[in-house]
Homo-oligomer: A and B are copies of this chain.
Amino acid sequence: MAGNTLGTLFAVTNFGESHGPAIGCVIDGCPPGMALAESDIQPELDRRRPGSSAFVTQRQEADRVEILSGVYQGQTTGTPICLLIRNTDQRSKDYSDIAQAFRPGHADYAYYRKYGIRDPRGGGRSSARLTAPTVAAGAVARKWLRERHGTQFQGCMTQLGELPIAFESWDYVAQNPFFAPVADTAALENYMRALRKSGDSCGARLRVTARNMPAGLGEPLYDRLDADIAHAMMGLNAVKGVEIGDGFACVTQKGSEHGDAMFPGEAGRPRFASNHAGGILGGISTGQDLEVSVAIKPTSSILIPRPSINTAGEAVELITKGRHDPCVGIRATPILEALLALVVMDHAMHQQARATA
């Protein structure tokens, strides 16, 4: 693979740069006959959109999605769906300082070594802006999975920097800009205001789930469902850790504690006493809820001066001005939901391909 495609049967090919004319993706493999319009996609993009609160980048982008192909008279035709999002608020002058130098902790240096050339405007291809097409494609997968299997994807923030966030209710997630499952976000707001003032950035921990999961998804060796989830999550900017179910907590668990006991349930299906596995055993979905957690690192673009080098190999001191998210985790919840949906969609199609009934 050339790298910019996620999935093989529901294959999403992503293109674009932060400050180019447009970003977008092509979905190849969407089943035909599903009602689809821009209005099915736009709400998910709006959830991820920059400029929507004081705690995220102030770049103003409407992120209007345009369906260029693959839909006829309001229905998917089974042919590739191109989704286009025009960039509108590019301020390339903001980035002139870092064109010849490498921000510590940023993709700058790695791109330089890989390509010998890079588009420095807004991070170019490495910008978190490129997650918008992923979210758009995810909306298509989510619609299909919801209509066919009743599957629902939902995420939330569980820690903001040093502040753990105790889960209260999914109902609160849509009511605050942090996607936090709590009624009162005053502490989170204060934390972010202090962070902003310091010119620094912070990490976050997020959780994403899938309910009403079809069982039997995932290939047992190499392309397991958990492996592909890990691939999708770790493929997201700034993610440095992924857990399925109990994750790293498994290390100190005993087998007698970890294995989820099964009791007779409805329709010959088991009732699981717990979900330490996070819905996946042997790489294959069991029908339990998927439970995934990710660690997001602090943004590298900060106002605090950092020692670095430039393309000539000389020492420089860098401050990153411009518009940046002080915590990219804040807007990451819709992206994680989209990524999880895209992985499940691809595996659902694979499982359907082999079905013998």
Contacts and interface: CB of A to CB of B under 8 A. Distances in A.
Interface string A220-232: 1111101111111
Contacts of A322: none
Interface string A71-82: 010010111111
A283 B107 contact: yes
A249 B241 CA distance: 9
A240 interface: yes
Contacts of A125: 77, 79, 220-221
Given A235-B283, A241-B244, A241-B247, A261 B306 contact: yes
Interface stretch (A28-36, A57-65, A167-175, A176-184): A28-36
A215 B114 contact: yes
Interface stretch (A11-19, A37-45, A46-54): A11-19
A61 to B, nearest CB: 16
A166 interface: no
Interface in A108-131: 108-111, 113-119, 124-126, 130
A241 B240 contact: no
A69 B29 contact: no
A285 B110 contact: yes
B354 A31 contact: yes
B252 A15 contact: no
A4 B223 CA distance: 7
A151 B175 CA distance: 50
Contact of A355 (B3, B31, B34, B261): B31
A230 to B, nearest CB: 4
A233 B264 CA distance: 33
The interface centre, meaning the residue of A201, A302, A356 with most chain B CB atoms within 10 A of its CB, is: A356
The interface centre, meaning the residue of A32, A232, A281 with most chain B CB atoms within 10 A of its CB, is: A281
A221 B130 contact: yes
A350 interface: yes
Contacts of A16: 68-69, 80, 82
Interface string A264-290: 110011100100111011111111000
A72 B261 contact: no
A196 to B, nearest CB: 12
A159 B250 CA distance: 11
30 contacts: A3-B221, A3-B222, A4-B219, A13-B80, A15-B81, A16-B80, A24-B68, A31-B356, A32-B356, A33-B356, A75-B117, A105-B276, A106-B281, A107-B281, A107-B284, A108-B281, A110-B218, A110-B281, A110-B286, A113-B287, A114-B218, A125-B220, A203-B250, A221-B235, A224-B235, A230-B234, A235-B283, A255-B300, A262-B308, A264-B314
